[in-house]
Structures are given as C-alpha cells and as structure tokens.
Structure 1
C-alpha cells in the first residue's frame, strides 16, 4: 500500500472516530443513551375531528409554552410534551394547536426550514429530538388531534441560519417580516404545509399571525393572504382527513374596523375552517357577530372556531364560558383557547372553570320558562275583592312587544318582551281598569270593601279556643281559659269533669266579637309526682236562644306535687328563643325528641325551659306520667366518620343542648346528663382534636370543648341522635383539589328549590301565562346542579316540584351528609306595592360559618346577572338554621318587576345563575 493512501485511510478513520465520539457525546446530552429506552407503539392514522372541537394552543415563539428553555435534553422535552398531552386530556381538550413554524423555522424535522433557536439554542443546529412527532404520537394515544400552527410571514429578528429561506432570499424580508406580496413567500407556505402533512399524522395546519398591524401598508394585502392560503391548501397531502384553517379578527364580519382576510380564501374553497378572535367585543355585541360568522361559514361549507385568551384573574367573570354558550347557540363548531401556560398555572382557575363549561350537560327536566306574548292580565287573573286598607293595587301582565300598549289613553312602559306592570289607585266600591292593544281589550275588576265599624258573629271562633296546643299546668298554677264569642252570650268551659263560667273582657253590643276569659283550678285532678292528661277543653255558648260548642285542638296536662312537666320536641328541628317572642333571637336549635323541663308557662304561646330558652307550645308534646328529662350516661366513644369524627354518648334520653364553633374549637353544653362525672374524655383518641375537655357546672350541665389540631378546618358541627345515644358530629371541611379538572369531587351540595307541589310561591308578571316562583326556583336548582356536577361535586336537588315541609328538607340534607345547603328562591312584593322600581338580589344566612358563603354567593350572582346586590343579611329563615354545614337562602330577583322577570326567565340567565352559584362554592372551598 502506498504511504499516501495509507495516510488518507488513517485520516478517514480518525475523522470517523471523531464523528462517532461527537455523536456519542450528543446522544448522552440528549439522554437517548441514559436509562432504559422502552419501545412504544402508537395508534395509526389521524385522529378524527370531534363533533365539538376544543383546542388548546401551545406557543413556541419566545419559549412561551414549549420548550421552557432552549437546548433541553430529550428527556426533559419528552416530559414537557407528556405534561401538555396529559393536561389537554384531563381538562377536556380534544385538539392541540402546536406552533410548529413560529418564525420561518421549525420545531419538527424539516427540509425547508432550519431548526428553531427556541428548540436548539441556535437556529439551524442539529436536533436529535422531534417535538412535533412525539406530541402527535402522545396525543393520538389519548384521542387528541394535533394541528400544526404556521406563521407564514414571521421571521426571526437575528441569528438566521444559512439554510433559512429568509437568509437565502434577503429581498423577501421587509419591515422585519417576510413580504406577503412576494410569490416566493406565498409558495414557501405551501412547501411547509406539504412536508408537515406528508410526514406527520396531524389533523391539519393553521395559518396564524396574518392579521397584524405590521401589514397595514401592504398593497392588496387580502389578495396576498388568499394566495398564501391557496398554496397551503393545495399542498395538503390528505385532503379527506387534513384541514387548513386561518386565524383572523372576528370583528371583520359586519364591521368596518377590521380587514376581511377570509372571504376570498373561503370563496376559493381553500379554507376548511376559520378561527376568529373577538378581542374587545362585548357580550351584547357578540350574538350579531356570531350570526354573521354562522351565515358566512355555512354558505361556504366551512366551520368556525372562536379563539379566546384564558386568564386566571378573569376566570370567574366567565367571559369565555358565556361566549361559548352563545357560540353553541349560533352553530360554532367549537372553541380554541390560548394558551397552555395561561391554563397550567398554580391555581388552574381558568383551566377547571373552562373544563366545567366544556363538560356541563343540559339540565335534565329543565321546566318551561316561556310566557305569553299577547295581551293578558297576569294579576288579578279574576275579579278580586280588596281589603278596605288597600288603596292601591299593582296590576301586571303580558303583551305583544311589537305593538303599543295603552292604559287610560296613555302608552305604558314595558320590557323589551312586552311585560308590564302598573300601580293603580283603588277607590271604595267597584273599579275597572282597561288595557288595549291592536284592537284587543282586557279589563281588571277590583272591588274595595267599605270599612265596617263592627263585626258580628253568632258562634265561638274555632281558632280562638284556648289551648290550641298541649297546655301544661304547673303545680300550684291555674288553667287559663279563653275564647272569642259574640257579646251578650253565656260562655262556659268544661275539662276533666270541672266547669267554669267565662266573662267578657269588655262591654260590647250583642253579637260583636269579644274575648271571654276565666281561670280554673284543676289541682284536684293531679296525681302526686306525675303529669296527667285531662283532655281537651270544651267551650259551650248560649246566644240568642241557641246552644253551640267548640272543642280545643290542644289537651291539658296537669302536674302534680313534685312533678315538673317534660317538653318533647315534635319536629326535626325546633328553634329555642332567647325571649318569649318570635324575634329571631335564638339560643339554640333542638332536634326531634330532645327533652327538657318546663319551668314556666310563659305568655305569647311559649314555655320557658330549664336550659334557659323559650319554645313555642305548638312545637312540643308534653310527656305524661312520671316523665324525666334526665339521661343516664353509660359510655363515651370517639369514632371516624366519612367526613369527620363523631363522639357518641351512650344515654337514656335526648338532652337539650347549646353549642358554638370558632376557628380553633367547638363547644357543646348538654343539660340533664347523669353520671358523666365517671367518664374520662382525656382518653378519647381523635385525629381532628388535640384534646376533648369536659366540665360540669353546679346545675349539672356538661360542657364539652373540642380543641382542634392545628390546620384542621371544619365546615360545621351538629348534634345528632342514634336512638337515645347522643352523637356530636365534627364535620371536616372537604378538600379542594385545585390541580384537578374536578376540584369539588369531595364536596356534597344540597340544592333546595323553594316551594313546590301545591305551594306555587309568588306569581310572576305573566301570572298563569308564565312560570311562577316554584318553577323558576326549580330551574335555578337544575342550572346550579349542572355546573356544580361539571366541577365534580355530588349534588342532590331535594325535589322536582313536590310538596315538602321545611323540616323534611333539612332532614334530607342531614341524610345526604351535605357539605353545603343552598335554598333557591325569588322575591316579590305585595299587591299594593309598586314593583317596577324594585329589583336585585338578597342573600340570607343564620350561623357564623354560613356568612362567608352568603357573601360570595351575593357577589357572584350580582356580577354574573348584572342585577344589584341589595343585601346579605343574617336572618332566621328555617332552612338556614343548620349548624352541620353552611346553609344559605338566595332570593335571586323580583319576579313582580317586568324587566327582572324577563331576565330571570331567560335560558342564558339560568346558565349564568348556575355559574355564579358554582363560583361561590368554588371560592368558599378554595379559600
């Protein structure tokens, strides 16, 4: 072998070894030779387009979304792309718009464009890893489409690779961008589309960045865009399954402010879909624009997918959600959300609110909310006789909105849908009020009764016969007797074989109603140490030669010497007042069959209890015999519950109790416990409490204080009963999973549609020609259910238009182990008040732990509905009196106000109501 040839061979071998060494070094750096590489197979073909496209954009320009930095290892790049694909799948996206060619460069294997500096650190450097190919495979595995986003005119501001078309053709670059009028630039887009659609199973290509102000001075710019789109569409390799789209300003439809860059390519058949942006467009303006896009794209056989920018800070404003609702009504084929980094945040607020908008279902059983649009009088629907005190009456109804409505020769103001209301003066006697429209007249007839100086009766008034409820006569006291009967009569009362004659409390004319009273000593009927039921009182009347009688609804119980009557609560909950008056000042809420001693037969229909409060007589039964309120304690035990912990006190009766909760502890006091001094609460094992402290007062009341561990948060506390065992329930606040698409998955919400069944609630403006309050309440509950379930909550709507008592609603809430209770209502005004100017939202709560939820609900409803927030108040509505969880009552608008009734009956308003209620729940648990 010749020396020269030997030298050449040696040099070649050395060069080959250097290349191998360099390659090995790069492979090590790219992580391809570190760790085990497991071959993976992916589905073949292109993922088909879903009936509703939900796309998420992934921007690569400026390393905005991917990669997080240039020159990362293959392992790091795979991890970031896996996270993108996983995120898209979890949060309901079925398409990813991946920016594959951001600045005349490539984040894929290209023979046309150099590699992007955002991937390799230097434009044109060799890239071992193919981001687009990997993302397409991972998304295919999850059933997600990938679209390659190409900016046909952008070019990097510096560091161009020698292989860059912009570097090879410097004349193509003007004002920092590729010149759209250059035929070579237009054809370049086709070359890029050709290799993308030939080499990757992408669903299509999206041309982006064409609607920038930098092109304002380009002559005949719309034609340039159309030619670019034409080359791109011609270059699609699989036109049966790959599509071309264009991002443009949505305001150009029907507007003069924006350029029309889409009509020509649509007309040429070069666009399969358009992605319009609606920046700066208000919700009121959007329906008209959507209608224009629907008509345009339908005529051209194309789809349109509005583009919206996500933002955590505005997520609860629901700009995107509300737009999506309108877009769906207008036939949009889907939605595009920008961008991944704005969604995958620490809080993910925009991510899960959008997922809820994507996934929430049309409420099943949503009632009909329509109303007549012809001239009708909704109230009064029939001639009415008014009370003498009614000097005015608010008449309301419907009409044809396209024709004027006249009343007494003047045109009435109405809502845009023809709803109206007017306050009229009502004179004594007969009154008629006539409304006319288009030759049709409707008349309301109101008769106002004249005041009467006296009211005459001839029998005992049934409702006046005392007692109406169980009446306990304490040892040494007299039985009160009272009824209303006609003056001039003789009234006697008989009970237990004893009789008494009653006397009128005032001198009146014969026949005029007057109260008769007396007292009766029934101690002779008592038994020592016992409480005896001596039956009801029978009142007898002799008046004008006629005899009549009336028996009381309540029975009389007489306490013998040494006996103290025991009151037993009759219903699921019984409020105990601080005073002998219904003034909303409550000491506690007792449960069914709780017992306490009656220490005073107080006025106003109340008993005073030994625990210190007052209870309505009608709310309790009185136990007979040698009854006791004492509970003999046999055991105490702490146990875990699905949503917290329970302390069970084994006993023989259900004791009266009071309680309170603050951030650090729960305190409950029980009355009439015997033997608790033998119990050792320090031995109780708890995961929620650092200790359970007990104390016994001089009067025998037992106070338990549950000191919570640091970091433990409760939604509420409750006293429940298992037979005669007393259970103190500490309900732990459910977790809010902010990194999940369904952050409320641990939350149970009970929604209570107010009224229902035979109780219609208030009449709306349309009367029987439209929904009454019970129907609107039910619709609100269904709307809230739909949104809350989309966020992962377990939701129970208490009824679907059935008659239910308030106690039944609360008892069901306990059975469902609710974390929140929300009662849905609407407001109204009485018939004598002018409702036209009264509107807005009111929220009510009772216990402290409900205040925050009430405030959040009021704010959210006001913001989402546009109606003013009138008040968030502490009040004593029965259904808000639960302590086990926050419970609130929402009055979401006045249905006697024509404009507000119209808003409330709107399907879009119902959707927004559901979002508002869900927002309050989310913010409550997220805080």
Structure 2
C-alpha cells in the first residue's frame, strides 16, 4: 500500500509541475502578446524597387529625450511617416540614437557590454503587461503605408561609419533583432565628408565664424549585403545633382534629404522626385573626349606675344604625362590636361610624352609691331538734314548718350522704328569716318544701324487702340499708321511709353485686361505722346514690348505675371521658357576650347540646353529653343525669335574662357549677365542653383549689354556656366553628371523665379 500511495503522490507532483509550467507558459505568452515583443511582433521590412528615402536625424530623435506618453510617441511616429510620404518618400532612415549621457537609443536592446540603454522617455511608460517599442511601432505603421524603415550606420558619437568599419555592438544587435537593412558610407563618400568637414573647420579658424560643412554627394552601401553595388545617394539641398546622380548610377535609390529641412521647404524634394521620374536620360552630348595624347591649344599657326602660354591637351588619365620633361598633374577622369609654360622670343618647341607616344608643336613668340598712319577713310554714311527721318535697320540698335562710347546705352531701339534727326555728328570709329544722328530726346543713333528716309516721310498718327489677348499677353493695336521710336521707364507698378514724332488723338480701351490697371495719354513737348500705365500688386506687369507690324502700324504687348500651377503636369505648367544655346555651326565658341575632335563650347551649350529642356518639361514648362542642332542663328535671328515668341523667361546658355597667358585652372566659376533690372533675380537664381549643384565658384551677377539680354518682354539673361579654358572645369562641364546637374539647376532657378 505504501508503494501505491507513493506512486500516486509522485504522479500528482508531476501533474502539478506540468500544470504550473503550462500556466507559466500561458502567462508568458500573454505577456509577449500584450507587450508586442519578440519575433512575432517584428514586421518584415521589404525595400521598394526604387528607394526614395528621408533621413530621421538626431534632431528628430531628440523628441524622445523628454518624457512623453505612449500615445504622444505613437502620434509623433505616425505623423513622421505621413510627412515623409507627403514629400514622396517611401523609406525612412534612422540611426536610432538619442542625445544623452550616457548614450541612449530608441531600440529595446539587451545584452552585456552594449554601452547604451533604451531612452528613458521610452521606458518611462513601461508597465508589467505593457512595454512600448517605438521602432517596432514605426515599422508596423510603415508596413501599413507600403513604406520601409532602415538604419544608417553611425558610431557611438553619431559620426557616419564606412563600409567595413566596426559597428557598435548595440547597432549590430539592433539590426539583427529588428531585421533592418543597414546602410553605411562607401570609402569615397567618407573621404568627401571628412574633406568637407575639414574645409569648414579651416574656414572657421580663418574667419572666426562657424560654418556648416559644404554639402557633398554621398553614396550609401548596403552593409547587410556584403557591400554590393551602391544603393542610395544623398545630396542635401540640391535636387538637380541628386536626381542626375541617381539616374546615372547603377544603384536603386536616393535620399531626398533630412526630414526637418525638407518640411521647411519641400520644393527640392518635389523637384527631385519629378526629375527622377520618367524614362532613362537621353543622350545630350554627341562627342566624347578622346584619351589619345594631343596638344590642342594653342594653335601653332598663330603668333603669340605673351611671356607665357597655357597649354591644353588630351591624354590617357591613367598614365603618367610630361611636357618638356615636367610632370603634368591631371584632374578628373577624362584625361584633359593643362600646363602654363614660359615662352622665349622666336620659335619654342613643346613636346608632350606619355609612354611611347610623343607629340610636338612649335609655338612662335614675337613683339608687337607699330600701327599704320594716315587719315581715316569714310564708311559711306552721310549727314542728315535737321528734321529728316531715319529708320532702324538692325534687329536691335543702341540709342547712346555719348556717340563715341558704345557702353553709354540710353535705351534699345528695334528694327523698323522711325525717328526724326535733330543734328548729325561726324567722327572716327574703328578707323573709319562715320556719322551719328542725334534724335529729339538727345540720344544718338549710329549711321551703321539705320537708313535715312525721304524728307516727306510723315509723323506717325494714331486715333485710338483696340485690345486682343494672346495667351498671357494683352495686345493693343494702335489705330492709324506709323512705327515711331519710343523710350520707356518702368518703376514698380508704373510703366511709361513715350513715342517720338507721333500723335494720339483718340482713347485707349477702358478695360486693359489687367485687374485695376489704368492708362492715361499725355502729349509731350518733343512732338510726341506718352502712355502712362499703372498696375497693381494683385495683377502686376511681367514684361512689355512694342512690335512693329508688316503693314506699318504699331502694337503694344503687355505680359501678365506667370504663376506656379497646381496641375498634375507640374508646377511650371503654363510657363514658357526660351533657351538659347550660344554659338553653333562654324562658330565654335570660347577661345581656349579644345579642338574640333572633342566637345567645343558650342556643343556643351547645346547639350546643357537640351538637359535643361528635359528637366523644365518634367516640371511642366513649355520650352522653345533658338537652335536644337549644330546650326548658327545670327544674333538678330535670336532677338527676333525672342520678341516674336514673347516667352516668360529667356536664358542664353554659354561657357566662359580666359586668355591663355596665365594658369587657366585658376580662373573658374559661374557668372550670369543681365541688362534690364527685371532679369537680375533670374541671373542670381541661376548662379545660386548652378553653383549649388556643381560645387563651382559663384563669381556673381553683372550688368552688361549683350544683344540677347536687351529685351523687356521677359527676364532675359546670359549664363556663363563654367570655364572651358580650365581643364578641371571643362571636364565637369562635359561630363554627364555635370551636364544634368546644370540642366536641372536651370530648371530649379526658373521655378524659383515663378511667383506662387
């Protein structure tokens, strides 16, 4: 009996242990389910095909350095994803660090020697059956939104880590426990980040003012995939370079930037996404730089007079190169090189050597000879009688305050304009005797720009005007006949057009097509009349022009201000941009460009304009081109195209150069020219955007009287993107990344200048 009793007691004990174990298991399972901890609570993150990410930086995670309720933390995480998605992102990247001492993280990490702890704001709300995990909540909410959460590799101080670098134990464990992809910098990016930081520190030491490191292109590598092809690119603050780099690389994603800065100004993110959409980038530059040894500048057939000459040539960038025994340093990967060499009087043999290849040219230096002497010959022009009429024959002519100084431009006159001569002045210009004609308003027109008319030519006479609308432009056709020369002033919302040798006896239309605008007609003391327009801020004037028609009358064109569009086709829908690739055909462009075998300035101008056209059209703009191939429209043709099309913006695309008697690599950068003040903001936006996208020096914006900038119909500028006389900058201008960065920057600058 004792044995049977003992067996029953042992069985009861076993059953009790089993029951307790089962109960403990049920309780623990309940705890796991309630807490949401363990592998069952870890959502599976799958990377989208095309990753478009934003960075959740330290300033974002600082939210968790202060005590918050679980509900507040959940709302913050969910709003973060909503804001990122609104910017077009499908991925958020975070380091998981929270500022504090000792170091804190958002992860629920456990283990020995991790050197970090979960942030107090996260653990502060813990209950026995409730422990909130912000990272898992972020992952769960991301999955519901078809988004991804991934990690950025940093050390314990928050500095980015390079591929192959030792990961902090807590980060390695977090990536494994949460099953998150981990991205780190490749070696080139790490070096670029360090260089930018050192540059900022050196500048701070020099100026005494702390500056942020210059933003640089960064490549992230998937560290969980044994460092396969670059996966993500980042360039904070510039959509043009980011999109171009992403589209030209083999990787599969890009980082739009830091969420905080993007929320302050989401335009760059939106632009980057539009740029990144669509098909593969088209080829815009037909020629490539050969890697054969050559000296392409200077031309040996040209006699030089300087003490030095800057050589430009091509080579294999991977092989040593010397010129007359001097090693030549190359920059970039195209093999274009430059070297300043001294010249002796007479013949100078210059030999470039690379491996078994040798190229020699002979350059001749001479001294200036004296000029000729004798009286200036007449150019065939004649004096005009006072009161005689003249007509402008050039597409564009200058009315000068000083007839001996072409810089003294009082105003611009257009082909067909008729004016009355007050007196004639004979003088010598460019070695020839010629005439200038003073008009009623005191300005001078050169004889080369006009023709004299019969003395019986009548004054222009108008009896009224009719209004029609062409696109975003109001057109006033003056009733009567005549194409009188006019002067103009435009200040703020007031425009005055003064017509010389003309009369107006009727009335202007009561409705000008501009809300609240008015016009008054006033006679002038110079035998003419003026139209004084007053507009308002709600419907301002954008540009104007007086067009002379073939049937001998005059039209006044007044343009409405363009506005950003909310259309799905893009923010520049309804905006027209005319691009003018400089030079073309037999006009190669800037002195110092490489030989015809490789891209000339004319080729780079066209390639950049085509890239800008592509980017502008991605933003919805209508783009017109003065040339789309290797042809040469004259300056007059370009001005006529501008005035006939009346676009909202006009940009003449060029590249710069310098005289080759100094080190051309020392003169680099981007500059832009304007004539009328309405073009200055566009010029500044172009310099800002191009230099931000390319990293080139900003040389500034300047007034100048280039032919194509002298239009009031819209902001008109001439952009010098970079110096092709500099081998370093030439390679940047001729590379795919540089061209597409420039093209995107031009599109961004236009967008910057379109009012909301």
TM-score (norm 1): 0.60
Deviation at 1:414, TM superposition (A): 3.6
When residues 583 and 787 of structure 1 are mapped into structure 2, their CA distance, relative to the original with a 3 A threshold, is: same
Q: Does 1:818 align with 2:641?
A: no
Contact 1:844 1:889 in 2 (8 A): yes
Change (3 A) 1:811 1:365: farther
Structure 1 partner of 2:250:
331
Q: Which digits, 9 at most, give the CA deviation of each residue in 1:304-341, with x for residues without a partner?
A: 556x7xxxxx96x32x7645544554432224657878
Q: How many Å separate the matches in 2 of 1:340 and 1:456?
A: 72
State the number of aligned residues: 654
Q: Does 1:467 align with 2:465?
A: no
Q: Distance in 1 between matches of 2:383 and 2:319?
A: 69
Q: Distance in 2 between matches of 1:70 and 1:786?
A: 48
2:310 maps to 1:394: yes
| Residue 713 of structure 1: aligned partner | 540
Give the secondary-structure state (helix, strand or coil) at the position aligned to 1:668: strand
Q: 1:282 to 1:589 in 2, by over 3 A?
A: farther
Structure 2 counterpart of 1:840: 669
Matched, 1:443 2:266: no
Aligned partner of 2:270 among 348, 352, 355:
352
Please give the per-residue CA displacement for 1:530-589, whole angstroms capped at 9, x wherever unaligned: xxxxxxxxxxxxxxxxxxxxxxxxxxxxxxxxx854322223322222221342222222
User: What SS does the corresponding residue of 1:768 show, helix, strand or coil?
Assistant: coil
Deviation at 1:374, TM superposition (A): 3.1
Which of 273, 286, 292 is equivalent to 1:374? 292
> Hey, what's the Cα distance between the residues in 2 that align with 1:804 and 1:294?
56
Q: What aligned pairs does 1:495-644 form with structure 2 within 5 A after superposition?
A: 564-602=387-425, 603=427, 604=429, 605=434, 606-624=436-454, 626-628=456-458, 630-644=459-473
Distance 1:364 1:192 in 2: 39
Cross-structure match for 1:253: 163
Report deviation, 1:826. Answer: 1.2
List aligned pairs for 1:356-435, cutoff 5 A: 356-359=274-277, 364-368=282-286, 370-381=288-299, 383-386=300-303, 389-417=305-333, 418-435=335-352
Distance 1:196 1:904 in 2: 44
Q: Offset at 1:344?
A: 5.8
Q: Distance in 1 between matches of 2:373 and 2:153?
A: 89
Q: Which residue of 2 aligns with 1:751?
A: 579
- Structure 2 residues without counterparts, runs of 5 or longer: 1-43, 95-117, 195-215
Distance change (3 Å), C-alpha of 1:431 and 1:322: closer
Q: Could you tell me how far apart the structure 2 residues matched to 1:282 and 1:817 are?
A: 48
Alignment pair present for 1:665 and 2:494: yes
Q: Which moved more, 1:203-212 or 1:780-789?
A: 203-212
Q: Deviations over 1:492-517 (max 9, x none)?
A: xxxxxxxxxxxxxxxxxxxxxxxxxx
Change (3 A) 1:258 1:755: farther
> 3-state DSSP class of the match of 2:554?
strand
Partner of 1:386, secondary structure, is: coil
Distance across 1 between alignment mates of 2:262 and 2:362: 61
Describe the SS at the equivalent of 2:754.
Answer: helix
Equivalent residue runs for 1:687-698 within 5 Å:
687-698=514-525
In structure 1, C-alpha distance between the alignment counterparts of 2:224 and 2:651, rounded to whole Å: 39
Question: Does the aligned pair in 2 maintain the 1:673–1:700 contact within 8 Å?
Answer: yes
Deviation at 1:647, TM superposition (A): 3.0
1:784 aligns with 2:696: no
- 1:18 maps to none
Q: Whole-Å Cα distance in 1 between the matches of residues 352 and 543 of structure 2?
A: 54
Cα distance in 2 between the residues matched to 1:750 and 1:838: 29
CA shift digits 1:615-644 (9 cap, x unpaired): 23222233347333x112132234444224
| Residue 724 (structure 1) aligns with | 552
Instruction: Sort the Cα spacing of 1:670 and 1:55 in 2 relative to 1 into closer, same or farther, 3 A.
Output: same
Q: Is the 8 A contact 1:754 1:823 kept in 2?
A: yes
Matches of 1:450 and 1:165, distance apart in 2: 88
Preserved CA contact (<8 Å) 1:587 1:658: no
Q: Which runs of 5+ in 1 are unaligned?
A: 1-45, 100-151, 167-176, 179-187, 217-247, 309-313, 476-562
Is 2:651–2:719's contact at 8 Å kept on the other side of the alignment?
yes
Partner of 2:105: none
What residue number does 1:145 align with? none
CA contact 1:569–1:619 (8 Å) conserved in 2: yes
Instruction: Check the 8 A contact 1:433/1:444 in 2, yes or no.
Output: yes
CA distance in 2, matches of 1:739, 1:70: 40
SS in structure 2 of the partner of residue 648 of structure 1 = strand
